[in-house]
Amino acid sequence: MKYTQNEKIMQISEEILVVGVDIASEIHYARAFNNRGIEVGKLIRFTNSEEGFIAFETWAEELKVKHNRKQVIVGMEPTGHYWFNFAQHLKDHGIKIVLVNPFHVKRSKELDDNNPTKNDRKDPKTIAMLVKDGRYMVPYIPEGIYSELRTAMETRWQIVKQLNTIRNRVKRWISIYFPEFNTVFGDWEGKAALIALKEFPTPARVVEIGVEGIVSYWKKEKIRAVGKRRAVELIEAAKKSIGIREGLAAANNELLTLLEDYEMKIKQYERIMALIEQLTLQIPGMEEILKIKGVGLTTAAGFIAEVGDISRFEHPKQIQKLAGLSLKENSSGKHKGKTAISKRGRRRLRALLFQGIMPIVATNEEFGELHRYYTTRDKNPLKKKQSLILLCCKLIRIFYALLTKKVAYDPQKMMSDIKRPILQEVA
């Protein structure tokens, strides 16, 4: 549920014990305060373990009873992944958790002592004061299939990152030892190119094995798209190669290692994508989303992985804010500054939407027409990037409608933003 600033402040009543926790990888620190910001009790240091969590609970419960408080609210920064286990433990034991923005903590820590120093005693107090003033958010911890999908997409992103690293290293290898390879094969990931890199990667080996030898390797793997002509081209390129000729034994070993890693990652990628598809199709409304021309599985599944259960949002603008696509403006007095997106939100969601909207604009007729309209209209034409951001917000609204209302995608409604002067004059 989304609360206003006043509603958040009202929740910090006289019955509340506010606890600020500084999260670290192994040792956490906590301090407790009443609703007026007066500290109660001493700082506690506890480990990131079951024993440490129980010690924290005991400490908080004793302070709650001693000071006649009915509820404990624990505030913390979402520091990497270190807060996950502690937050889950508190949730399982019925203790309310809230998060504060690390940016706010950084800006607020000088209020008491005018000193930017960071330490384990200072940070818990800063966090607790932000909670007391209502400057917190209630975290969303996905459950069930939403948790499964988020974990699966995280695995996918890691595999893609590793694959890109391997691809770049293979490209580097080719540019050093056989740069002419790219003139024969446009893509080294093709079947014929991969066999060539495995069996005869260097110019010297290509010349040595000859045309018949090269073709025999391709025939053995039942590759029919290439033949003698391509083999001849490869040999001619090898004869003119400027590639480095020293250290070839170690270089060959490096390449084989990279190609083995590449094939393993490809299998892992295929396996995780099969799981992602299985999970995605279990969510009501996703089949309709995937019917939208240009919307791929990665965009649809990634959206749900980042957003979670769509029913927790009352309006698509909340998702827009979550993605950091809400507008900000720097203005003062008569000066009107530029308007831009805030970029305050889930970076991965924002990147996923922006990367996903480009193929949609390229292949989807209505999105493409809208993009042309936004960038060419007579009044207030948008730049290309501005238009794409606007279409990202449009995509959020479409996804929200399809998932909440369980309706089919309507291309005609997409065109409602386009004003047609001729039709308006006739009317």
Reply yes or no on whether the pLDDT at 25 is more than 80. yes
Confidence of residue 223 (pLDDT cuts 50, 70, 90): confident
Please tell us whether the domain made up of 5-132 is placed in CATH 3.40.50.1820.
Answer: no
The answer to whether 110 and 119 have CB atoms below 8 angstroms apart is no
Which pLDDT does position 38 carry in this prediction? 94
Reply yes or no on whether the pLDDT at 424 is more than 50. no
Reply yes or no on whether the pLDDT at 279 is more than 90. yes
3-class SS of residue 323? coil
Reply yes or no on whether the pLDDT at 288 is more than 70. yes
Confidence of residue 339 (pLDDT cuts 50, 70, 90): low
Q: Which of 67-76, 319-328, 376-385 has the lowest mean pLDDT?
A: 319-328
Please tell us whether the domain made up of 147-277 is placed in CATH 3.40.50.300.
Answer: no
DSSP of 184-209, one letter per residue?
Answer: H-S-TTSHHHHHHHHH--SHHHHHHH
The pair phi, psi for residue 148, each rounded to 5°, is -60, -45
Residues 6+ apart with CB under 8 A from 214: 196, 200, 206, 231, 234, 235
The answer to whether 43 and 29 have CB atoms below 8 angstroms apart is yes
| Token reading at 326 | 């809400």
Mean predicted confidence (pLDDT) in 123-142: 91
Mean predicted confidence (pLDDT) in 310-332: 79
| Segments making up each domain of the chain, as ranges | 5-132, 147-277, 286-329+338-426
Confidence of residue 333 (pLDDT cuts 50, 70, 90): very low
Which pLDDT does position 105 carry in this prediction? 85
Reply yes or no on whether the pLDDT at 332 is more than 50. no
Location of structure tokens 């299985």? 278
pLDDT digits (tens, 9 = 90+) for 1-17: 556 777 788 888 999 99
Mean predicted confidence (pLDDT) in 335-350: 70
Mean predicted confidence (pLDDT) in 358-367: 94
How far apart CA 270 and CA 380 sit, in angstroms, is 45
DSSP of 348-417, one letter per residue?
Answer: HHHHHHHHHHHHHHHH-HHHHHHHHHHHH-SSSPPPHHHHHHHHHHHHHHHHHHHHHH-----HHHHGGG
Which pLDDT does position 106 carry in this prediction? 82
Reply yes or no on whether the pLDDT at 119 is more than 70. no
Mean predicted confidence (pLDDT) in 355-376: 94
Confidence of residue 384 (pLDDT cuts 50, 70, 90): very high
Which pLDDT does position 113 carry in this prediction? 63
Which pLDDT does position 112 carry in this prediction? 66
Reply yes or no on whether the pLDDT at 298 is more than 50. yes
CB hemisphere CA count around 346 (13 angstroms): 18
Reply yes or no on whether the pLDDT at 254 is more than 60. yes
Reply yes or no on whether the pLDDT at 329 is more than 60. no
Confidence of residue 176 (pLDDT cuts 50, 70, 90): very high
User: What does the DSSP 8-state code read for residue 311?
Assistant: G
Confidence of residue 337 (pLDDT cuts 50, 70, 90): very low
Which pLDDT does position 79 carry in this prediction? 78
**Region of residue 313 (phi > 0: left; psi between -120 and 50: alpha; otherwise: beta):** beta
The pair phi, psi for residue 137, each rounded to 5°, is -135, 150
| Token reading at 318 | 């909340």
Would you mind telling me the total number of residues written for the chain in this entry? 427
Strand partners, 46: 28
Confidence of residue 256 (pLDDT cuts 50, 70, 90): very high
Which pLDDT does position 122 carry in this prediction? 84
How far apart CA 297 and CA 352 sit, in angstroms, is 12
Give the 3-state secondary structure percentages of the chain, helix then strand then coil, rounded to 5.
60, 10, 30
The answer to whether 323 and 394 have CB atoms below 8 angstroms apart is no
Location of structure tokens 């286990």? 85
Confidence of residue 117 (pLDDT cuts 50, 70, 90): low
Which pLDDT does position 128 carry in this prediction? 94
More confident residue, 25 or 118: 25
Over the chain, what is the mean pLDDT? 89
Mean predicted confidence (pLDDT) in 184-192: 92
The answer to whether 123 and 105 have CB atoms below 8 angstroms apart is yes
How far apart CA 367 and CA 356 sit, in angstroms, is 12
Reply yes or no on whether the pLDDT at 335 is more than 70. no
Mean predicted confidence (pLDDT) in 174-197: 94
Reply yes or no on whether the pLDDT at 422 is more than 50. no
